[in-house]
A and B are shown apart, each in its own frame.
Chain A
């Protein structure tokens, strides 16, 4: 089972993603900020990360930069944010995001992106 890490400080948002992703039989872990996410990633490997930007302690940008500096298997990262400006998008890409989606993301949309980033064929 493919393992996905959700990083968002809002429990509602995490539950939303979790519900969608678990309905498609992915295994889901959660982290509430960048620090917790890094801690989890150092312990177990993930096939994909879904990351918010605005978080306390360590935000999505900081997390990405640290993640991409680590000598580990690098999973694809989807950033999901409410910030729609091009500058935010650019920043995320530079720091190592592979996709940048704007909140709120519809379930089917998320699932298709996730499936493509996990290398799975259409069911």
Chain B
């Protein structure tokens, strides 16, 4: 793909996005009366059309041309803006977007779009013709609905005019002179006349020089001086006329030649070579587009280096204790400090490279909310906040589907019909807010609606009916616990969720998607007031902080983001309640389990010399659990690599990681272990 085509595709996406945003804007607050938005919209479509005309994508240009026409008519007040009209424009832009996708994939637009293009063009023209002023105009086109004006035929016709002789110097020279004469014949009254005259003189000077007619140029300079002195074009015009008279003969001789060239051009476009040689200097761009794979490889390499540098402290210890080289050990340590700093900087930078604003996903929602709410006959106002919040690309991408799911649910089950809302004393227009915020290393995305909320009792009942909870639990369940059941897998298979007062459709899918990217989803809801779903996400997922623990003389890693607290619990503080070991920690009963037991190791957990047990308190599905281990070691940043092959099926492990001394650390997945 040529750089030009790449540029075109990326610009097309930006423009399409802006067009969609402006269309939304027209529908919202300012309304179609806003001339600013309308002008902007027209300009965007116009620009896009101009770009597409540089390539051979006739269907795209056709549709954009018709869209531009329609917008032009709206802008001039000849056609009334309406939602139906916006729908057609959006359809047209979707089509353009589809073509752009195809170009991106295959380098060309696919075959068989002609009919769609014609259909869309016709729809756009009808929209334009629906206004009275255009009715006659439209009728006259009906007899010949697919005339050349569709393909921007005027485009090509005009093109032929100024490109008639692309390379013929004499012809263009003549045209330039003709144009300058035309300009010189304009009235002399404009305040910028001096500049205009100077520009013409520069043009005449250059063009004469180009074709080798430089003998009368000193006189041109004099004529310009005269013109400037009396603020009149007359002296320059006189010079030009004198020149033309002399050249007239030459020009007439050229005529037969022109004719023949013209035939050639009309017969077929000369094969113009276009493109840059590799060795030519490219523009000093401030942004650089890089294939994501390259960034990923670079990130992996940096990750490996971060780990590899950790071998230096081992080496230092070895130099000192094994070889007795104290000096060398010291030098290695100081060198390590330098490498460590650089490696950490590199890691920071590569993280930043991968960061992208959440607006990347947010921008899809205005359209989604608009279309869905119209389909449902609801009025919904969407508010987006914190779109500039940045987050790792992988996470952003994984976030799209769950977010769409949540918003759809809010629209479908959360927001009530307008008359229901009125009856409840709410404003007819429902509100959905999507907000991104960053707080200490995590990103929070809140999706809030002011709909009817979720009835915990209904959930309890459904969950009981489906056998997800038993009778005893049904009694004990708090409302919040009931709401959390929304994420339980079984609940999704319930008949029609719509009669379950709220969400449920695939909320377990949302939870699973979140867990894959180390995210947490939580839900709060108040009957009649609305529902808030909060997604809590890590900033980045490249390097995982793990704590190394020892159990039965083996080392394991446990991701720190799962660990709430690290404590040593005295043997005396461990009680057995209902055959389970528990302890009380910060006024909370925390069940305890030994890691050895989870891993089916026979050994009993070891206490330290104070008779205390090393315990990691982890939080899983909002419940706390203490895991007894033999001892803690360091926390380290590692790259967790998923396991392949046969051992890939061991869900108790999140993966493996390489430590600085070259040994492999198995990273546990506490949630699956339990």
- Residues of chain A in range 1-36 having any CB-CB distance to chain B below 8 Å: 9-13, 15-16, 18-20, 22-23, 28, 30
A55 to B462, CA, bound (A): 59
| Contact of A76 with B199 in the complex, beta carbons under 8 Å | yes
Q: Which of B162, B200, B280 has the most CB of A within 10 A?
A: B162
Q: Judging by beta carbons under 8 Å apart, are A54 and B166 in contact?
A: no
Contact A18 B283 (CB under 8 A): yes
Residue B196 interfacial (CB < 8 Å): yes
A12/B46 contact (C-beta < 8 A), A20-B274, A109-B162 known: no
Decide if A103 touches B53 in the complex (CB within 8 Å): yes
Partner of B158, one of A52, A84, A117: A84
B209: Cβ under 8 A from any A Cβ: yes
Known: A94-B186, A98-B200, A116-B206. A23 touches B276 (CB 8 A): yes
Chain B residues within 8 Å of A55, by CB: 43
Q: Report B256-306 residues with CB < 8 Å from chain A CB.
A: 269-270, 272-277, 280-281, 283
Shortest C-beta distance, A77 to chain B (Å), equals 6
Query: Are B173 and A116 closer than 8 Å at their CB atoms?
Result: yes
Would B166 and A108 count as touching, CB distance under 8 A? yes
User: Smallest CB–CB gap between B154 and chain A, Å?
Assistant: 6
Asked whether, in the complex, the Cβ of A82 is within 8 Å of the Cβ of B50, the reply is yes
- 9-residue interface stretch from B177-185, B559-567, B569-577: B177-185
Give the distance in Å from the alpha carbon of A58 to the alpha carbon of B369 in the complex: 35
Interface status of A118 (Cβ within 8 A of chain B): yes
Cross-chain contact A76 with B210 (CB below 8 angstroms): no
Residue of A19, A69, A105 with most partner-chain B CB within 10 A: A19
List, in ascending order, chain A residues with CB within 8 A of B205's CB. 119
The residue from B43, B176, B270, B281 contacting A116, defined by CB atoms under 8 A apart: B176
List residues of chain B with CB within 8 A of the CB of A11. Answer: 7, 10-11
Known: A65-B192, A119-B206. A102 touches B200 (CB 8 A): no
- A54 and B195: CB pair below 8 A? no
Which of A69, A100, A104, A120 has the most CB atoms of chain B within a 10 A radius of its CB?
A: A104
Residue numbers in A under 8 Å from B183 (CB-CB): 93-94, 97-98
Q: Is B211 an interface residue (CB 8 A)?
A: yes
Tell me, in angstroms, the Cα distance from A98 to B40 when the chains sit together. 28
A103 to B50, CA, bound (A): 7
Which one, B159, B167, B209, contacts A104 given CB within 8 A?
B159
- The interface residues of chain A lying within 8 Å CB-to-CB of B190 are 94-95
B144 within 8 A of A: no
CB of A76 within 8 A of CB of B166, answer no
Contact B274–A82 (Cβ < 8 Å): no
Q: Mark A69-80, 1 if CB is under 8 A from B, else 0.
A: 110011111000
Question: Count of B residues near A, CB < 8 Å?
Answer: 65
Whether a CB of chain A sits under 8 angstroms from the CB of B169 is yes
CB pair A118–B210 under 8 Å, yes or no, is yes
CB–CB A16/B53 < 8 A: no
A119 and B8 CA atoms in complex are apart in Å by 32
Residues of B within 8 A of A100 (CB): 179
Whether A22 contacts B199 in the complex (CB less than 8 A), given A108-B272, A117-B207, comes out as no
Within 8 A of B (CB), among A28-74: 28, 30, 52, 54-56, 65, 67-70, 73-74
* Of the residues A22, A84, A122, contact of B280 by C-beta under 8 Å: A22
* B172 interface residue per 8 A CB criterion: yes
Contacts of A52 in B (CB 8 A): 50
Q: Which residues in A have their C-beta under 8 angstroms from that of B212?
A: 121
Within 8 A of A (CB), among B145-186: 154-155, 158-159, 161-163, 166-169, 172-173, 176, 179-180, 182-183, 186
Tell me the nearest residue of chain A to B283, going by C-beta: A18
Q: Using Cβ atoms and an 8 Å threshold, which residues of chain B touch A56?
A: 40, 43
What's the nearest-Cβ distance from chain B to residue A54, in Å?
5
- Assess whether A54 is in contact with B4, with CB atoms less than 8 Å apart: no
CA distance A31 to B201 in the complex (A): 25
B11 and A75 form a contact (CB under 8 A):
no
Q: Is A105 touching B206 in the complex (CB atoms < 8 A)?
A: no
Q: Tell me if A19 and B4 are in contact (CB < 8 A).
A: yes
Pairwise interchain contact A95-B166, C-beta atoms closer than 8 A:
no
Instruction: Give per-residue flags for B1-37: 1 if the beta carbon is below 8 A from chain A beta carbons, else 0.
Output: 0011001101110000000000000000000000000
Which residues of the partner chain A approach B12 to less than 8 Å between Cβ atoms?
Answer: 12
Q: How far is the CA of A23 from the CA of B272 in the complex (A)?
A: 13
B47: interface (CB < 8 Å): yes
Cα-based distance from A86 to B208 in the complex (angstroms):
26
Q: Are A70 and B272 in contact (CB under 8 A)?
A: no
Contact indicator B54/A16 (Cβ below 8 Å): yes
Nearest residue (CB) in A for B49 is A82
Q: Would you give the shortest CB distance from A21 to chain B, in whole angstroms? A: 11
Cβ of A47 to closest chain B Cβ, rounded Å: 8
Whole-angstrom distance from the CB of B210 to the nearest CB of chain A? Answer: 5
Q: Are A10 and B51 in contact (CB under 8 A)?
A: yes
B347 proximal to A (CB < 8 A): no
Q: Which residues of A contact B132 (CB under 8 A)?
A: none
Which of A12, A23, A94, A109 touches B166 (beta carbons < 8 Å)?
A: A109
* Cα–Cα distance between A108 and B274 once the two chains are bound (Å): 9
What separation, in Å, do the CA atoms of A101 and B159 have in the docked complex?
A: 9
Residue of B159, B202, B272 with most chain A CB atoms under a 10 A cut-off: B202
**Contact yes or no, B50 A10, CB < 8 A:** yes
Q: In the assembled complex, which residues on chain A have CB atoms less than 8 Å from the CB atom of B200?
A: 98
Give the distance in Å from the alpha carbon of A107 to the alpha carbon of B275 in the complex. 10
Instruction: Note all chain B residues with C-beta closer than 8 A to A23.
Output: 275-277, 280
Q: Which of A15, A68, A96, A120 has the most CB of B within 10 A?
A: A15
Please pick, from A9, A74, A119, the residue contacting B207 in the complex, using a CB distance under 8 A.
A119
Min CB distance B613 to A, Å, is 63
B203 CB–A CB distance under 8 Å:
yes
CA–CA, A119 and B173, complex, Å: 11
Q: Which of A10, A68, A96, A109 has the most CB of B within 10 A?
A: A10
Distance in angstroms from B612 CB to nearest chain A CB is 65
Q: In the complex, A52→B47 CA distance in Å?
A: 10
Q: What is the CA–CA distance of A70 and B180 in the complex, to the nearest angstrom?
A: 20
In the complex, whether B191 has a CB less than 8 A from a CB of chain A is: yes
Q: A10-B50, A93-B186, A108-B167 are contacts. A121–B199 as well, Cβ < 8 Å? A: no
Give complex CA distance A11, B3 in Å: 12
B198 within 8 A of A: yes
> Which single residue of chain B is at the shortest CB-CB distance from A18?
B283
**Closest residue of A by beta carbon distance from B274:** A107
Q: Which residue of A lies closest to B42 (CB)?
A: A54
Asked whether B172 lies within 8 Å of A113 as measured between CB atoms, the reply is: yes
Q: Is the CB of A12 within 8 A of B4?
A: yes
CA distance A95 to B191 in the complex (A): 10
10 more contacts with CB within 8 A, not counting A76-B206, A95-B196, are: A12-B11, A12-B12, A18-B283, A67-B195, A69-B191, A73-B202, A82-B53, A104-B54, A116-B206, A118-B210
Q: Which 10 A-B pairs have the closest CB atoms?
A: A68-B195, A119-B206, A119-B209, A74-B198, A68-B192, A109-B166, A96-B196, A76-B203, A12-B51, A98-B203
Instruction: Pick 28 A–B contacts, CB within 8 A, sort by A.
Output: A10-B47, A13-B51, A16-B4, A30-B283, A55-B43, A65-B192, A68-B195, A68-B199, A73-B202, A76-B199, A93-B183, A94-B186, A98-B183, A98-B200, A98-B202, A101-B162, A102-B161, A105-B162, A106-B159, A106-B163, A106-B166, A108-B166, A109-B163, A116-B206, A116-B211, A117-B206, A120-B210, A122-B169
